[in-house]
């Protein structure tokens, strides 16, 4: 059975709506494993995703529901080197953990935007930001393939375990380049495959909604970012989440010259999803 892009995106939305509601009810993300970025059928240990990737000082400055709703595979706020007064954008902001932490880092002269397509997650994130007193944290409804912000309006793009969920990764990388100011940078946590794994082999290791099957390989990430107009691209593996698949930190700078037009990058097969 093949799954279309729209069906896959709906499945992702349903899955994360369920997570947000589970957190509201006072539980974990409700997927039976402590993190929604682990499907119940996946062999991936839950400890490689979620709140344990933040240090206790960071967790201490957040509302409990923001910590509980953490579904990432890294800590982009720790790698993005945010500065006072900057504008930050988090793609797929979930319960808001990275937006709230970024809002603190950039201070009252800065802004932290989160974009997410799931209403339940947006509602949770807005409540968390209010509870945290993060008045410079703004959550927008939208898809990361078509970001609802103007061109060249952002200093830093961050994201935590979301690019792998996209059904149109070239569009996401192109949008990152569009919204960034020339010289702007990305600091992204994501699941990334070793180049030796075919899309089919990635799908054997976990589902799409579980953040495994849709992962790009390191070479695909580098080629995709360069095609979208980024330079100084690095993809550093930090911890293994499945055989040949890793939590990774992806960094790059938007080239100062004119933006390139969209070029294709390899899209892993959606096989094995759901
Ligand atoms: C694995 S969770 C990560 C949430 C958050 N970044 C974190 O670290 O806790 C994925 C989030 O991305 C959102 N998402 C997935 N695909 C998206 C897309 N194409 N456009 C916008 N949001 C998306 C989901 O609604 C969900 O909130």
Q: Which alpha helices (DSSP H) does the chain contain, by range?
A: 5-24, 56-60, 64-68, 76-79, 97-106, 119-132, 169-179, 199-204, 218-228
Helix, strand, coil percentages for the chain (3-state, nearest 5): 35, 25, 40
* 44 ligand 1 Cβ < 6 A: no
| pTM, 2 dp | 0.90
* 87 ligand 1 Cβ < 6 A: no
Take atom 8 of ligand 1 and give the residue whose Cα is closest: 72
Out of 7, 10, 16, 66, give the residue to mutate to test ligand 1, the one with the largest number of ligand atoms within 8 Å of its CB.
16
* Residue entry with tokens 């992702």: 12
Tell me which residue of 240, 222, 131, 231 sits closest to 180, measured CA to CA.
231
- Give pLDDT tens digits for 27-83: 665 443 445 455 555 555 555 566 777 888 888 888 888 888 888 888 888 888 899
- Give pLDDT tens digits for 163-200: 999 999 999 999 999 999 999 999 999 999 999 999 99
């Amino acid at each position: 059975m093949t799954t279309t892009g729209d069906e896959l995106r709906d499945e992702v939305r349903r899955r994360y709506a369920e997570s947000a509601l589970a957190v509201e009810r006072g539980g974990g993300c409700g997927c039976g494993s402590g993190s929604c970025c682990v499907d119940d059928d996946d062999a991936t240990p839950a400890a490689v995703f979620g709140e344990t990737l933040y240090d206790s000082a960071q967790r201490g400055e957040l509302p409990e529901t923001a910590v509980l709703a953490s579904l990432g595979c890294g800590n982009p706020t720790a790698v993005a080197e945010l500065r006072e007064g900057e504008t930050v954008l988090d793609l797929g902001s979930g319960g808001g953990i990275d937006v709230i932490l970024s809002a603190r880092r950039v201070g009252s002269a800065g802004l932290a935007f989160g974009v997410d397509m799931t209403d339940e997650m947006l509602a949770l994130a807005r409540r968390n930001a209010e509870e945290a007193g993060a008045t410079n944290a703004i959550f927008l409804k939208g898809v990361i393939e078509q970001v609802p912000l103007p061109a060249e309006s952002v200093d830093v793009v961050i994201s935590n375990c979301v690019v792998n969920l996209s059904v149109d990764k070239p569009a996401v990388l192109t949008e990152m380049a569009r919204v960034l100011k020339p010289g702007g940078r990305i600091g992204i946590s994501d699941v990334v495959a070793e180049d030796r794994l075919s899309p089919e082999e990635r799908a054997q290791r976990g589902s799409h909604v579980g953040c495994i099957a849709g992962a790009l390989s390191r070479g695909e990430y580098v080629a995709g970012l360069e095609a979208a107009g980024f330079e100084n691209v690095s993809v550093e593996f930090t911890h293994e989440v499945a055989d040949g698949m890793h939590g990774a930190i992806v960094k790059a700078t938007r080239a100062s010259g004119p933006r390139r037009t969209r070029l294709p990058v390899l899209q892993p097969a959606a096989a094995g999803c759901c």
